[in-house]
Amino acid sequence: MNETKNMTFRKRQPLNGSALKIIAMFTMLLDHIGAAFLYSLPGCTIESHIALWPGCPVTLYGFYRILRNVGRIAFPIYCFLLVEGFFHTKSKKKYAFRLFLFALISEVPFDLAFQNSFFSFQLQNVFWTLLFGLLCMTALEKQKQAALSKALAYNVQISNSLFIILFFVGLATILKTDYYGIGIVLIVIFYYYHNNRKMACIIGYLCFLWEPFSLPAFLCLPLYNGKRGLSLKYLFYVFYPLHLLLLYFLRLYWIQ
């Protein structure tokens, strides 16, 4: 009887962690092809009617928009995986250090790809958002433990938690990390509703209604079965700065 239930559960939740990572990486790549490459091409404007190729009904700008819309799937999945990693990692300090290290490594490729500059303050790469989200969850956990040990009043616990969340939301917004403070809000939602994935996805999508094409991400997250799958621990870390550099050089070659 239990084996039958487990088989039914696995069929209903077929996605493991590595499958989610691959989906996020692929959709992010499509998004960045649009943002870092197609958008720089002559004729990629909403006013232009240049076809993607002769006879194609889709314009260059239309294809750019398709890629950007598909790319909205990636970020919610990365936020979800960050929270999963937070609850399962053996060392939160090492986890934070990896995010910090690759935030530094990725900044120049990110600025080259999107700002055509070695360094720009206009927008910072997504590793900073994920790092601040991780630090926010860590602070919330410590606040929770302190509240239990000191028997703090409930309203004091709430105010302390709100202060922590607002601090990191403000930090991400001021430093202009990718997705700004709304990225921290989504991470916090996944954190608080870690044991209620469907509710996390409903509330998360309501916060992301300004990006309606992110819906497929929130629909596929309840299909996660809690298993790691393939060992792809460092794939995203390396893939992120590498693909940005490749897109930058591809744009240079194509324009020349």
CA distances from 145 to 95, 119, 150, 164, 226 (A): 20, 40, 9, 14, 26
What is the tally of structural domains in the chain? 1
**Predicted pLDDT of residue 1:** 45
Q: How many helices (H) and strands (E) does the chain have?
A: 11, 0
Rounded CA gap, 247 and 256, in Å? 14
> Do 71 and 63 form a contact (C-beta atoms < 8 A)?
no
State which residues form the domain around 97.
Answer: 2-255
pLDDT tens, 14-59? Answer: 899 999 999 999 999 999 999 999 988 888 888 888 888 787 888 8
What confidence score (pLDDT) does residue 214 get? 96
DSSP one-letter code for 230: S
Predicted pLDDT of residue 147: 66
pLDDT of residue 20: 95
Which helix (H) or strand (E) covers residue 49, if one does? none
Ranges in the chain, pLDDT < 70: 1-11, 147-154, 256
Q: What is the pTM of this model?
A: 0.91
